[in-house]
């Protein structure tokens, strides 16, 4: 929204506090200290909080019910002006609160001036930010669920698709692609729990703390809390106006989500490379090269990986912002909004775009009508044959035959070294050759050395057996319903 550099007045003065001063604020200082260019996004929440405050003032007979009605009507009209883009934001009025208060006073006269009775901008802004962040947290939780559903659908479609599992980015053991995706579902489940928990601490009302010490008016804070849907009130006035733990906690939770999506991004980038060719990301999420016509670059995962650092920076900024502040409110706290707003914006759009990018193709009557995330099963399977992924299964086989595991480990290591020299897989070695490393090996060993045999043997909760992957998907779907 446009901010106009137009001299205005509140009660014929430049600001709500200018009577104390004998010279106007310097123009450069106005620009430096103003927050209206970014805090105007709080407008609807500021109006919501002001209406509840006015209703409480009326109920407590601090202002007249006629004033309350005028305030309600005026604020409703101002909200319409803001939503339609007709509201003129003035830089001279510094922030969202004074802009709305000035407009209200222009519309309804003295009743508008009475609205600020029993509150300060300190507790007002703290309330606005909590109202906004509570709604934003609900949006984040919904976004996390949307991404989980995309992952669940993809995992269900590939519950038995074989791929190599990696440690140290080296082929380790066979897993299914569905099982791999379910690891990210688990991460997002934890992320959701953090935001649900964070919301409880966001949802406390600071209004009524006034500047820092409370107010001498006979206010009813619990009534305001109830009207605004808060679970309770902040119980110490000093803490109420200066606390930004909830913003830091939100940004920390957002940083962890971005960490998880950055890890997935790194895998998608690798897997989409011709060196892997495990997956194909739909063209609408990629770009080409200005010079190399063959290129298809995974820009979305790359940007998610980059934007993760951006969110980390906001967390560090907020922690640094708060670390040296004495009680109570300080102007430093104005710097909480831009990092918090950008964190929320970045996280929400990332969740939305990832949920879309990981969706299965839309097929109607056997025809793909909307391209989606493609998995190259054959390439994944072929890669699982590389790196002797079933070597551990052979060691387990020998241990089950009675050989101490450490001895089995050594015997299989020698067999792998032999197979590497011969450039063949363990399953390609003749029985007589395998028995040179361990006499306990019998004909039944070849069932153990298959990819499916390896997968199916891990048939327990948390294991990669296809049966367990389907069960895990069902459990998560049930928990989300």
Average pLDDT (34-41) is 94
Query: For residues 41 and 290, what is the distance between their CA atoms, to the nearest angstrom?
Result: 38
Quote the pLDDT of residue 9: 43
Catalytic residue among 84, 168, 216, 481: 168
- What CATH class is the domain 384-476? mainly alpha
Taking 70 as the threshold, does the pLDDT of residue 35 lie above it? Answer: yes
Instruction: Give the tokens for residue 437.
Output: 């490393």
DSSP codes joined into one string, 120-152: -HHHHHHHHHHHHHHHHHHHHHHHHHHHHHHHH
Catalytic residue among 53, 97, 265, 289: 289
In 226-358, DSSP assigns E strands to 232-233, 279-280
> Across the strands, what pairs with 204?
232
**More confident call, 12 vs 176:** 176
- What CATH class is the domain 3-117? mainly alpha
- Indicate the pLDDT class of residue 25, thresholds 50, 70 and 90: confident
Residue with tokens 């003035």: 90
CA-CA-CA-CA torsion for 328, 334, 336, 342, nearest 10 degrees?
Answer: 170
Instruction: Among 1.20.200.10, 3.90.550.10, 1.10.150.120, 3.40.50.720, name the CATH number for the domain at 122-364.
Output: 1.20.200.10
CB atoms within 10 A of CB 25: 16
Average pLDDT (50-66) is 98
Quote the pLDDT of residue 23: 84
**Whole-number average pLDDT of the chain:** 94
pLDDT digits (tens, 9 = 90+) for 144-177: 999 999 999 999 999 999 999 999 999 999 999 9
- Tell me whether residue 479 is one of the annotated catalytic residues: no
Quote the pLDDT of residue 12: 44
Query: For residues 198 and 192, what is the distance between their CA atoms, to the nearest angstrom?
Result: 10
Taking 70 as the threshold, does the pLDDT of residue 418 lie above it? Answer: yes
- Tell me whether residue 481 is one of the annotated catalytic residues: no
Average pLDDT (199-221) is 98
- Indicate the pLDDT class of residue 365, thresholds 50, 70 and 90: confident
Taking 70 as the threshold, does the pLDDT of residue 17 lie above it? Answer: no
- Residue range(s) in the chain whose domain bears CATH number 1.20.200.10: 122-364
| Cis preceding linkage at 328, omega within 30 | yes
Query: For residues 79 and 75, what is the distance between their CA atoms, to the nearest angstrom?
Result: 6
- Indicate the pLDDT class of residue 10, thresholds 50, 70 and 90: very low
Between 32-36, 108-112, 124-128, 237-241, the lowest mean confidence (pLDDT) is in 32-36
Quote the pLDDT of residue 374: 96
pLDDT digits (tens, 9 = 90+) for 297-335: 999 999 999 999 999 999 999 999 999 999 999 999 999
pLDDT digits (tens, 9 = 90+) for 223-277: 999 999 999 999 999 999 999 999 999 999 999 999 999 999 999 999 999 999 9
pLDDT digits (tens, 9 = 90+) for 114-123: 999 999 999 9
The reported pTM is 0.93
- Residue range(s) in the chain whose domain bears CATH number 1.10.275.10: 3-117
Q: Give the N- to C-terminal CA distance of the chain in Å, as an integer.
A: 39
Between 24-33, 69-78, 222-231, 247-256, the lowest mean confidence (pLDDT) is in 24-33
Closest by Cα among 341, 377, 370, 376 to 356: 370
- Residue range(s) in the chain whose domain bears CATH number 1.10.40.30: 384-476
Helix (H) and strand (E) counts for the chain? 20, 10
Query: For residues 184 and 205, what is the distance between their CA atoms, to the nearest angstrom?
Result: 35
């Amino acid at each position: 929204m446009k901010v106009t550099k137009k001299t205005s007045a509140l009660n014929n003065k430049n600001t709500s506090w200018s009577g104390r001063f004998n010279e106007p604020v310097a123009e450069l200082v106005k620009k430096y200290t103003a927050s209206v260019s970014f805090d105007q996004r709080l407008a609807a929440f500021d109006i919501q909080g002001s209406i509840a405050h006015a209703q409480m003032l009326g109920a407590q007979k601090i202002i007249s019910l006629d004033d309350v009605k005028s305030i309600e009507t005026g604020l409703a009209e101002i909200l319409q002006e803001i939503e339609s883009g007709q509201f003129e934001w003035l830089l001279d009025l510094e922030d969202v609160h004074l802009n709305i208060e000035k407009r209200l006073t222009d519309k309804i006269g003295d009743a508008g001036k009475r609205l600020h009775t029993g509150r300060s901008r300190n507790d007002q802004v703290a309330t606005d930010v909590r109202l906004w962040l509570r709604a934003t947290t609900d949006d984040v939780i919904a976004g996390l669920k949307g991404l989980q559903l995309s992952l669940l659908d993809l995992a269900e479609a590939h519950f038995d698709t074989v791929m190599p599992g990696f440690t140290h980015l080296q082929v380790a053991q066979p897993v299914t692609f569905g099982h791999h995706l379910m690891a990210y579902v688990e991460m997002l489940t934890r992320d959701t729990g953090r935001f649900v928990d964070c919301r409880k601490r966001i949802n406390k009302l600071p209004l009524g703390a006034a500047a820092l010490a409370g107010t001498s008016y006979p206010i009813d804070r619990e009534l305001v809390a109830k009207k605004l849907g808060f679970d309770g009130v902040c119980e110490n006035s000093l803490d109420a106006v200066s606390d930004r733990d909830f913003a830091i906690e939100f940004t920390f939770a957002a940083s962890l989500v971005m960490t998880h999506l950055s890890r997935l991004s790194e895998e998608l980038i690798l897997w989409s490379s011709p060196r892997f060719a495990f997956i194909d990301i739909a063209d609408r999420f990629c770009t080409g090269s200005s010079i190399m016509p063959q290129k298809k670059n995974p820009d979305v995962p790359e940007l998610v990986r980059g934007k993760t650092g951006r969110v980390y920076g906001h967390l560090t900024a907020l922690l640094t912002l708060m670390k040296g502040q004495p009680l109570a409110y300080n102007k430093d706290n104005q710097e909480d909004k831009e990092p918090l707003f950008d964190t929320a914006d970045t996280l929400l759009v990332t969740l939305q775009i990832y949920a879309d990018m990981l969706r299965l193709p839309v097929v109607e009557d056997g025809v793909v009508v909307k391209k989606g995330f493609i998995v190259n099963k054959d390439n994944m399977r072929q890669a699982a044959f590389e790196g002797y992924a079933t070597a551990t299964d052979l060691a387990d086989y020998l241990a089950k035959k009675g050989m101490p595991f450490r001895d089995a480990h050594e015997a299989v290591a020698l067999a792998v070294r032999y197979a590497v020299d011969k450039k063949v897989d363990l399953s390609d070695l003749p029985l007589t050759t395998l028995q040179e490393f361990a006499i306990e090996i019998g004909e039944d060993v070849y069932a153990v050395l298959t990819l499916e045999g390896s997968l199916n043997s891990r048939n327990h909760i948390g294991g990669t057996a296809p049966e367990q992957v389907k069960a895990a998907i069902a459990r998560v779907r049930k928990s989300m319903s």
